[in-house]
A and B are shown apart, each in its own frame.
Chain A
Amino acid sequence: MTQVISVLIENHFGAFDRVATMFSGKGFNLKSITIGETEIANVSRMTIVTEGEGKDIDKVVKQLNRLVDTIKVIDLSNTNHVERELALIRIDLQNTSLDEMKNVCDVFRGNVVDINNKSIMLEITGPPEKIDAVVNVLMPFGILEMARSGNVALRRGEQLKIKKKEYPSN
Chain B
Amino acid sequence: MKTNNVMLSGADIFFECLKREGVDTIFGYPGGAVLKLYEKLYDVDFLQHILVRHEQGAAHMAEGYAKATGKVGVVLVTSGPGATNTVTGIADAYMDSVPIVVFTGQVPSHLIGNDAFQEADIIGITRPITKHNFLVREVNELALTIRKAFHIASTGRPGPVVVDLPKDIIASECEFVYPDDVEIRGYRPVYRGHSNQIKKAAELISNSKKPLLYVGGGVVMSGGSRELSLLVQENNLPVTMTLQGLGAFPGTDEHSLGMLGMHGTYWANQAVQNCDLLISLGARFDDRVTGNTDSFAPSAFKVHVDIDPASIDKNVVVDLPIVGDVKHVLAELVAEIQKHPEIEEWWESIYRWKDECPLSYDGGDGRLRTEFVIEKLSEKTKGEAVVVTDVGQHQMWTAQYYKFNHPRSNITSGGLGTMGFSVPASIGAAFGIKDRPIVSVSGDGGFQMNIQELITAAAYKLPIKFIVINNSFLGMVRQWQELFHSEKFSFTDLGQSNPDFVKVGEAFGIKSFSTDNPKEVDGLLDKVFAYNEGPSLVEFKVVKEDMVFPIIPSGKSVADMIVKRLNPKNML
Contact = CB atoms under 8 A, between A and B. Distances in A.
Nearest to B148: A68
Interface string A140-170: 0000000000000000000000100111111
Contacts of B124: 17
A21 to B, nearest CB: 5
Q: Which of B185, B194, B317 has the most CB of A within 10 A?
A: B185
Which 6 residue pairs spanning A and B have beta carbons closest together?
Answer: A62-B310, A68-B132, A25-B128, A71-B186, A68-B187, A66-B310
A168 B188 contact: yes
A148 B185 CA distance: 33
Given A21-B127, A62-B310, A68 B184 contact: yes
B534 interface: no
A91 B123 CA distance: 43
Interface residues of B, number: 27
A86 B313 CA distance: 37
Nearest to B193: A170
Interface of A: 9-10, 13-14, 17-18, 21-22, 25, 55, 58-59, 62-63, 65-71, 162, 165-170
A21 B128 contact: yes
Contacts of B323: 170
A24 B308 CA distance: 20
A66 B308 contact: yes
B139 to A, nearest CB: 16
B190 interface: yes
A92 B123 CA distance: 45
Given A162-B185, A170-B190, A65 B127 contact: no
A90 to B, nearest CB: 33
A59 B313 CA distance: 8
Contacts of B339: none
B186 A70 contact: yes
A71 B135 CA distance: 20
A26 to B, nearest CB: 9
B131 to A, nearest CB: 7
Contacts of A169: 309
Interface in B313-365: 313-314, 317, 321, 323
Contacts of A22: 128
A13 B132 CA distance: 13
A141 B128 CA distance: 45
B152 interface: yes
Given A170-B190, A170-B309, A18 B184 contact: no
B382 interface: no
Contacts of A17: 124, 127
A53 to B, nearest CB: 13
Most buried by A among B124, B186, B314: B186
